[in-house]
Structure 1
Amino acid sequence: MSQQPLRLHLPDFVDERRMTRYQFRVVTLCGLVMFIDGFDTQAISYMAPHIADEWGLSQSALGPIFSAALVGLMVGYLALSPLSDRFGHKRLIIAATAVFGVTTLAALWADNVTELVILRFVTGMGLGAAAPSAVALTGEFSPKRLRATFVLAIYCGFSVGFVVAGLAAGWLIEDHGWRSLLWVGAAAPLLLIPFLIRGLPESPVFMIQRNLAPQRIYAIFRRIDAGLPTSLPEQSEPVFSVEENDSGKRTALSSLFTRKWLWGTLLLWFVFMINLAEFYALQSWLPTIMTDLDYSMNVVVAATTLTTVGGIAAAFVTGPSMDRLGPYRTLGVLYVVGFGCLALTGIAFHAPLWVLLTANFFAGCCVSGGQKSLIALAAVFYPAQMRSTGVGWALGIGRVGGILGPIMVGAALTMNWSPSTVFYAMSVPMLAAGLTVALLGMRYGRSQQGPAQADSAPDTEAPSLTRGSGPALDPGSSI
């Protein structure tokens, strides 16, 4: 009697088990990639004044240096993140990390604006390629009940990188010059690469779909569950299956525009544009507005920092809430609260300082925290096969809002709008974002998952991609 093959199905295999040290290691490595991403993105803000002094540049000449990496980020999100569909998340993360490490190192020898702008653009492309794959791998190795929490956790690494960049700048630049910050920004990713090569696994979904060696795939399953047999019986190849995205042989990018996913994708893009418009408008103009209102520099720095700290603090609440109460409900409520907090900030400009700082903190909770939570929502919304591309394109399209937000606030101030009126106006899109998330929840949130689950009939098996021989696998079982 021949022995029945071992049957393993994703995502049920991960969803039905406790997190292991191996999975925590994967999440930690992805978080470190995001941390370095945040550090490198923010460090240029602290170097720029010193670059201007050394090279004799006007303040307006710094604009292209600031924007080059942001444009590169958009290109990375839109053009490079879909390459994970062809090469896998691990390869893309390592290659992207190498790119932004090498280009940051090369910036040490730049001696004019043109060279620095080109290097910052390529650096941004690398940063934009790495982040969606890090989010996707984190989602794939996290059980459904904790997925939003862990995606939020690694994205907090991005914000912590912002904070550490400021601390490092204060410690290094005065004594060692602005290039010292580039040394740190280049060394960190290059030193991380050997750990990524050794410790970061490839996406098992990618490996199954690519029909790679079953023993390699099985080794990852066994790292998650040590109770599996140490070795497989001879001539008994395991049967692996993954949940199909109902898009047939389409690429992940083209799947975003199928009838099933298009409506939800467009709504997500709309919310991303609103949230990134609010985030960059707040970060760009709050220091200027408060300076014009004659607040001291210490107060301006404290108020701006509190918006970032608020975003990190919010993750400790919204992550577990998204996993327990549902991502749509949690994020919708957060945006509605953000509507009130931004309006309160407008009022607080004429209130005691502690009221203003408190309002800044809670505005950061909703705007910066909302952005992290929105990325977690996208990671839950899309299935594993589409996750990196879906998140990458949402971030890339959202950059349109990130560009327009500061421009619109600048135009409003030019028309002599008061700071209070500007913040009243900024609060309205947050309400629109909350209502849009509510629409998403009504359409796709019946199971607190993406449309792949919400649209499935309860008595119908989800289609699967299968590697190996044997009868079709019941998607409700893991082995």
Structure 2
Amino acid sequence: MPQTDVRELLKESPMRWQQFLAVALCILANLGDGFDSAVMAFAAPNISSEWGVAASTLGVVFGVLALGTMAGAFLLAPLADRYGRRVMILSASAFLAVTMALVPFVENVTQLIALRFLTGVGVGVIFPNLNVLVIEYSNNRLGNLLASTMHIGFALGLAVCSAVAATLIAAFGWQAIFFFGAAINATVFLVGLYYLPESLDFILAKRPPGALEKLNKMLIRWGHPPVESLPLPETSGYESRSLRELLTNRTIMFATLLFGIAALTHYFCTHFKINWTPQILIDAGITSTTAMSSGMLMALGSALGTLAYGKLASSRHALWWVCGGYVIAAILIFIIGELPSDPVLPLGVLCLLSFFLVGSWIGLLILATRFYPPAMRSAGLGFMIGIGRFGGVLGSYTAGMLMDRGWERADFFPVYAMVSIVGAFAVGMLAIMLVAGRAKPAPERQA
């Protein structure tokens, strides 16, 4: 059976429960990432009051997670193209369980910053590889739907954190929510040891030791006949492209830069929204309990937007839909800055903002995953997300700095709105490149 036939067989065949279980594990891992990313937002008010931490210092605590994620995405995530997606995801899950469990024992802000940076490194390793695995585990019919469903895991992580934060903090202190997050990551590691298979494309492209045995085990588990020998490797087209070509091919490099700019602007706005929303709502006169519950509404908007844009990612004009989402998000960000202190209206607008801000980003991620060939998917997405996470650092720190300088909501929300417009411009440039044929995505059969 030729290599292309193996891929096409799995892409055209109905999915088995083992494939759905693997996707479910990826969703749980992404839920853990969402929880890890949001947990500081709910612990911050208590830490600030206990330790007397200034807003600008909290901005550093928030931003350092994104800095660590950038380092993990740039430096470690691409190693999955060499050592395997499964190895990197399980290693990062175990690492995250440890870093989250250590946070309750910190004694000062410096130690907290160090652990949040290390947590970010783990998130940076996991996130790009989850995108790749879900696409590679799925058939053509359900690929985009399952990829978007996987990203709902991040929104679910926000919702879970929002749902349990107030109760756990009231009963056991802010330290308890970090133990809860550690348990989620430990579960991913332990269950994944037995039920998370390696990527088919990695096995065929890199041929690690025992590749034939791993391939046949996967084929049999998924209800297909084994093969007697490994298919001959393909050497044409996108399959031959390596990390070096990612950095030297002008078309791919320029497309990666545009993907990265769009990612940077997304994270600039999203980290601000995730980290500072509870504090801003409290400052606006909304009760602490209601402010912490805002994560539930943001998660709802994120989930609906993820499903909608997962469907739109299959359309002919998908990038223009993404571009429009960035523009609408910019308008909503500006509107939030002008809203009066009201216990209900800001929450509704935040839900709508999450729909477009997160949904358009998920649509872009799905398109980027399909743009890169299997041999360089982790590297391509790692660079894209690494560039993007730098925006998270800037977004978190900028908000804290502006608050310390006395800026009001109406003053700094337009700054974030303009950043989202820059992202829309980058996505529009990508759409023009694709229409002109200057940037061509990887063939669908390899997705």
- For residue 430 of structure 1, what is the amino acid of its counterpart? S
Runs of 5+ in structure 1 lacking a partner?
A: 455-474
What's 2:143 paired with? 147
What's 1:271 paired with? 262
Q: How does 1:284-295 map to 2 (within 5 A)?
A: 284-287=275-278, 289-295=280-286
What's 2:88 paired with? 92
Q: Shift of the alpha carbon at 1:130?
A: 1.4
Runs of 5+ in structure 2 lacking a partner?
A: none
Q: What percent identity do the matched residue pairs reach?
A: 26
* Aligned residue among 190, 196, 219 for 2:192: 196
Q: Shift of the alpha carbon at 1:354?
A: 5.4
303-312 vs 125-134, which deviates more? 303-312
**Separation in 2 of the partners of 1:161 and 1:253?**
35
1:319 aligns with 2:317: no
SS for the counterpart of 1:202 is coil
Would the aligned equivalents of 2:165 and 2:292 in 1 still touch at CA under 8 Å?
Answer: no
Q: How does 1:170-209 map to 2 (within 5 A)?
A: 170-209=166-205
Q: Shift of the alpha carbon at 1:22?
A: 2.1
1:58 aligns with 2:58: no
* Aligned residue among 310, 321, 325 for 1:330: 321
Relative to the length of structure 2, the TM-score reads 0.85
- Structure 1 residues 281 and 249: alpha-carbon distance in aligned structure 2, compared to 1, 3 A threshold: closer
- For residue 163 of structure 1, what is the amino acid of its counterpart? A
Would the aligned equivalents of 1:306 and 1:357 in 2 still touch at CA under 8 Å?
Answer: yes
**Separation in 2 of the partners of 1:431 and 1:386?**
29
Aligned residue pairs total: 442
Would the aligned equivalents of 1:81 and 1:132 in 2 still touch at CA under 8 Å?
Answer: yes
What's 1:282 paired with? 273
Q: How does 1:252-401 map to 2 (within 5 A)?
A: 252=243, 255-287=246-278, 289-297=280-288, 300-301=291-292, 305-346=296-337, 349-350=339-340, 355-401=345-391
Would the aligned equivalents of 1:290 and 1:300 in 2 still touch at CA under 8 Å?
Answer: yes
State which structure, 1 or 2, has the greater radius of gyration over its C-alpha atoms: 1
354-363 vs 396-405, which deviates more? 354-363
Would the aligned equivalents of 1:172 and 1:180 in 2 still touch at CA under 8 Å?
Answer: yes
Deviations 1:187-243 (A, max 9, x none): 33223323211111111221122234323213323444x2x43x55xxx52525568
7-16 vs 24-33, which deviates more? 7-16
Relative to the length of structure 1, the TM-score reads 0.80
Q: Shift of the alpha carbon at 1:450?
A: 5.0
**Separation in 1 of the partners of 2:144 and 2:30?**
16
SS for the counterpart of 1:376 is helix
**Separation in 2 of the partners of 1:49 and 1:277?**
21
Q: Shift of the alpha carbon at 1:288?
A: 5.1
- Structure 1 residues 253 and 308: alpha-carbon distance in aligned structure 2, compared to 1, 3 A threshold: farther
- For residue 278 of structure 1, what is the amino acid of its counterpart? C
103-112 vs 185-194, which deviates more? 103-112
376-385 vs 198-207, which deviates more? 376-385
123-132 vs 181-190, which deviates more? 181-190
Q: Shift of the alpha carbon at 1:290?
A: 4.7
Larger fraction in helix: 2
What's 1:219 paired with? 217
**Separation in 2 of the partners of 1:331 and 1:50?**
37
Would the aligned equivalents of 1:11 and 1:243 in 2 still touch at CA under 8 Å?
Answer: no
What's 2:231 paired with? 239
1:127 aligns with 2:123: yes
**Separation in 1 of the partners of 2:218 and 2:236?**
20
**Separation in 2 of the partners of 1:243 and 1:186?**
43
- For residue 261 of structure 1, what is the amino acid of its counterpart? I
- Structure 1 residues 253 and 200: alpha-carbon distance in aligned structure 2, compared to 1, 3 A threshold: farther
Q: Shift of the alpha carbon at 1:384?
A: 1.9
1:40 aligns with 2:14: no
Would the aligned equivalents of 2:239 and 2:375 in 1 still touch at CA under 8 Å?
Answer: no
What's 2:428 paired with? 438
SS for the counterpart of 1:452 is coil
Deviations 1:121-149 (A, max 9, x none): 22221221111111111111123444333
Q: Shift of the alpha carbon at 1:82?
A: 0.9
SS for the counterpart of 1:239 is coil
**Separation in 2 of the partners of 1:295 and 1:18?**
49
What's 1:427 paired with? 417
Q: Shift of the alpha carbon at 1:300?
A: 4.4
- Structure 1 residues 372 and 281: alpha-carbon distance in aligned structure 2, compared to 1, 3 A threshold: same
Deviations 1:271-300 (A, max 9, x none): 111111222233445555555554554664
Q: Shift of the alpha carbon at 1:356?
A: 4.2
Would the aligned equivalents of 2:64 and 2:393 in 1 still touch at CA under 8 Å?
Answer: no
- Structure 1 residues 15 and 87: alpha-carbon distance in aligned structure 2, compared to 1, 3 A threshold: same
Q: Shift of the alpha carbon at 1:394?
A: 1.3
Deviations 1:100-120 (A, max 9, x none): 112323344444444433333
Would the aligned equivalents of 2:59 and 2:396 in 1 still touch at CA under 8 Å?
Answer: no
